[in-house]
Amino acid sequence: MHNVEFLSALNGATQPPVEPAASDSELLDAYSRAVTAAVEKIGPAVVHITVLNPVRRGNVQVERAAGSGSGFVFTPDGLILTNSHVVHGARRIEVQVSDGRRVPAVLIGDDPGTDIAVVRAELSGLPFATFGDSKILRVGQLVIAIGSPLGFQQTVTAGVVSALGRSLRSRSGRLIADVLQTDAALNPGNSGGPLVDSHGNVVGVNTATIMPAQGICFAIGINTAKFVAAKLIRDGKIRRAYIGVVGQTVPLPRRLTLAYGLEQGSAILVQSVEPGSPAQSAGVHDGDLLLTFAEKPLAGIDDLQSLLSDERIGTRAELQLIRGVEKLSTVITPEEYRETVQ
């Protein structure tokens, strides 16, 4: 009997009081308050961007809208962050700010490799966004997108962070790392608009959707965007190195990995070497397997792209490769890459 009383007292002592569960209406009200507060904070900084290019109608030259997207002001003097694919090659840019005014803007710089661009609206004193930190996001966290999908300005959608650390191929062919995946609905025209957290701080720049799918949307992490924007403001472009090879990632034959004690299971197969390129000067041939660059393993073409930063321009580096069954080493000096996007 005493044992029963003891166990009963022990159980009662270790169980915390049960808190009443929040009702569905209370949870929905909290969700609504978070979304509306975030939108009220970021909304005035979001702009609609129109690209205008001249066309000739008979003997008269007129301007025609060649594309549009979204963006957001991030400095008091009118600097706007958007996607490169929204403004790349634009002859004239016009932005519509939150109070309805249309003002001209100029392109400060764009980087197709990360799909980030900076433009400046010719107007000061605009409301501007605050940046968050995309590195501290968690899967399942509430995020809100705002922009001009299909021309419907100041459209708001909400969802969650679906995944972190995704990779996305840019229009220039380079791989964009640390991309956010979200199910906050995006449509054409959302490109360049902000993805914000529940505090209204920008955590991403909306950039892409997978058209046949639903609820699979992507944004460039704001930490990447900030880094790129700083260089665009300073230099007008992002400088990258190149060596002049076209290649693809291929698995290494087991006999080669065993023969040379290689830890990597794949390498870059050189499909062609650009005439007059650093690779040709270094003696790289079609069919070579590139193993390492500057003592870093090349498990794939994306590894090489990530290593060819601006610091590598004009700097000699060792390149190890396999030709046939022979392992060779050469010295290569990367040059500055001139990026072109159709």
Same domain, 300 and 247: yes
Domain for residue 285, yes or no? Answer: yes
Per the annotation, the verdict on 281 as an active-site residue is: no
Per the structure, how many domains does the chain have?
A: 2
Domain for residue 126, yes or no? Answer: no
**DSSP characters for 287-312?**
T-EEEEETTEE-SSHHHHHHH--GGG
Asked whether 147 and 206 are in contact (CB, 8 A), the reply is: yes
**Burial of residue 80 (number of CB atoms within 10 Å: 0-12, 13-18, 19+):** buried
Domain for residue 42, yes or no? Answer: no
Q: State the residue range of the domain holding 219.
A: 134-223
Same domain, 329 and 247: yes
Q: What is the CATH number of the domain that holds 279?
A: 2.30.42.10
CA–CA gap between residue 168 and residue 250 (Å, rounded): 20
Per the annotation, the verdict on 115 as an active-site residue is: yes
Number of H helices, E strands in the chain: 7, 20
Q: 223, 258, 283 — which closes off a domain?
A: 223
Q: How far does CA 215 lie from the centroid of its chain?
A: 18
Query: What is this structure's pTM?
Result: 0.78
pLDDT in tens, the chain (342 residues): 455 554 444 455 555 565 555 676 787 788 899 999 999 999 999 999 999 987 777 777 677 777 899 999 999 999 999 999 999 989 899 999 988 899 999 999 999 989 999 999 988 888 999 999 998 999 999 999 999 988 888 999 999 999 998 888 888 777 887 899 999 999 888 999 999 999 999 999 999 777 777 889 999 999 999 999 999 999 998 888 989 998 888 999 999 999 999 988 999 999 999 999 999 999 999 999 999 999 999 998 878 988 998 899 999 999 999 999 899 999 999 999 876 544
How many CA within 13 A on the CB side of residue 206? 35
Q: Which position among 134, 191, 288, 303 bears the catalytic label?
A: 191
Domain for residue 327, yes or no? Answer: yes
Per the annotation, the verdict on 85 as an active-site residue is: yes
Q: Which position among 48, 70, 84, 85 bears the catalytic label?
A: 85
Same domain, 203 and 164: yes
Q: Which position among 115, 197, 288, 303 bears the catalytic label?
A: 115
Same domain, 219 and 294: no
